[in-house]
């Protein structure tokens, strides 16, 4: 093994999925304002039927790509060609290889951060911090019910498949600045990527989230109008390969092109 790899070494490290074993995740869902989602979505993505936002904090103790790390993320519900999924606004991680893989392959807007995740009985807490600002804090009590009982069945039915797995569709824009400056290497590409979750444990609870203002991680822009609830899962997850489904217009996309870099 060295700077230059043989064909055999490359093939030995080729995987069709990125697999996470006994992944522990706390996911929070809330309603935000429709105008917030409309402002944050780049074309051709459109607002979904409901103005729902989602954040999670996760611990990945074992993977098939030899990396263990913590991760958190912020999504807003979106639609492309009539299919609903989640547009990723931010995905902090604690490992540089996890950051590089997700950004370079799928376009996930990843940054290195400090992340905490702890369960104590029915109580779960977590936070994410960068540049000295703890911009996201979550707390949940696994009571068996959501904050909004009416939303619980709808949320589960939205993600659950007939085979008992849960499937999540992510939309990301993949883009890189050109070395000459002032442009992109290529027109921004909209990537659709699907993840299959096979939960061994699934619990529901009541939750709260605190989004503190940060110039570099402005999660507070996704205002909480009504907290829906929390889902705690432990299970095996598989990230499938993605697909480029559209290309964006350079000038139209520029205002949205700073999710991966710190810029005030």
Dihedral angle of Cα 177, 182, 187, 190, to the nearest 10 degrees: 60
Q: Where are the alpha helices (DSSP H) in the chain?
A: 7-12, 34-40, 96-101, 149-159, 250-253
Task: Give a yes or no: residue 100 inside a domain.
Answer: yes
Does residue 181 or residue 55 have the better pLDDT? 55
| pLDDT higher than 90, residue 96 | yes
CB-CB contact of 230 with 171 (8 Å)? no
Residue 124: what pLDDT? 98
Task: Give a yes or no: residue 6 inside a domain.
Answer: no
Question: Is 68 in a helix, a strand, or coil?
Answer: coil
| pLDDT higher than 90, residue 150 | no
Give the range among 13-17, 34-38, 119-123, 195-199 with minimum mean pLDDT.
Answer: 13-17
The residue segments making up the domain with residue 189 are 16-256
Residue 70 CA to residue 67 CA, distance in Å, equals 10
Dihedral angle of Cα 100, 58, 237, 156, to the nearest 10 degrees: -130
Residue 80: what pLDDT? 98
Question: Is 36 in a helix, a strand, or coil?
Answer: helix
Residue 159: what pLDDT? 65
| pLDDT higher than 90, residue 175 | yes
Task: Give a yes or no: residue 263 inside a domain.
Answer: no
Residue 85 CA to residue 79 CA, distance in Å, equals 6
Scan for tokens 């093994």, then name that residue.
1
Question: What percent of the chain is modeled with pLDDT above 90?
Answer: 84
**CB burial readout 81-112, b (16+ within 10 A) else e:** eeebbbbbbbbbbbbeebbebbbebbbbbbbe
Residue 120: what pLDDT? 97
Band the pLDDT of 141: cuts 50, 70, 90: very high
Give the range among 2-11, 213-222, 232-241 with minimum mean pLDDT.
Answer: 2-11
Average pLDDT, integer, range 109-137: 98
State pLDDT tens for residues 45-56.
999 999 999 999
Residue 236: what pLDDT? 98
CATH code of the domain in which 187 resides: 2.40.400.10
| pLDDT higher than 80, residue 157 | no
Residue 60 CA to residue 16 CA, distance in Å, equals 19
Scan for tokens 């997700």, then name that residue.
102
Residue 95: what pLDDT? 97
| pLDDT higher than 80, residue 158 | no
Average pLDDT, integer, range 15-23: 95
Q: Return the structure tokens found at 226.
A: 């009504």
Residue 90 CA to residue 109 CA, distance in Å, equals 5
The count of structural domains within the chain is 1
Task: Give a yes or no: residue 5 inside a domain.
Answer: no
Write down the pTM of the prediction. 0.95
Residue 6 CA to residue 12 CA, distance in Å, equals 10
Task: Give a yes or no: residue 43 inside a domain.
Answer: yes
Average pLDDT, integer, range 158-164: 73
Band the pLDDT of 86: cuts 50, 70, 90: very high
Residue 214: what pLDDT? 97
**Enclosing H/E stretch for 238:** strand 226-239
Q: What are phi and psi of 52, to 5 degrees?
A: -105, 135
Residue 256: what pLDDT? 95
Task: Give a yes or no: residue 104 inside a domain.
Answer: yes
Q: Please give the DSSP secondary-structure letter assigned to residue 38.
A: H
State pLDDT tens for residues 220-239.
999 999 999 999 999 999 99
Residues 6+ apart with CB under 8 A from 95: 67, 68, 69, 112
Task: Give a yes or no: residue 264 inside a domain.
Answer: no
């Amino acid at each position: 093994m060295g700077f230059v790899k043989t064909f055999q070494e490359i093939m030995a490290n080729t995987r069709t999925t990125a697999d996470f074993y006994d992944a522990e995740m706390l996911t929070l869902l809330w309603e935000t304002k429709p105008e917030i989602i409309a402002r944050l979505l780049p074309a051709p993505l459109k607002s979904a039927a409901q103005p729902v936002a989602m954040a999670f904090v996760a611990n990945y103790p074992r993977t098939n790509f030899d990396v263990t790390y913590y991760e958190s993320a912020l999504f807003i519900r979106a639609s492309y060609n009539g299919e609903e999924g989640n547009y990723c606004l931010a995905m902090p991680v604690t490992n540089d290889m996890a950051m590089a893989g997700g950004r370079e392959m799928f376009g996930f807007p990843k940054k290195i951060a400090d992340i905490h995740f702890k369960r104590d009985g029915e109580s779960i807490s977590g936070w994410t911090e960068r540049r000295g600002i703890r911009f996201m804090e979550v707390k949940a009590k696994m009571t068996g019910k959501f904050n909004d009982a009416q939303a619980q069945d709808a949320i589960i039915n939205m993600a659950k498949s007939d085979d008992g797995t849960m499937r999540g569709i992510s939309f990301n824009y993949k883009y890189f600045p050109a070395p000459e400056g002032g442009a992109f290497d290529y027109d921004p590409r909209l990537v659709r990527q699907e993840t299959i979750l096979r939960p061994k444990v699934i619990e529901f609870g009541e939750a709260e989230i605190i989004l503190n203002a940060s110039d570099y991680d402005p999660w507070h822009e996704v205002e909480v109008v009504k907290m829906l609830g929390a889902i705690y899962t432990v299970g095996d997850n598989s990230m499938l390969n993605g697909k480029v489904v559209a290309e964006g217009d350079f000038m139209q996309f520029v205002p949205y092109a700073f999710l991966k870099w710190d810029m005030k």
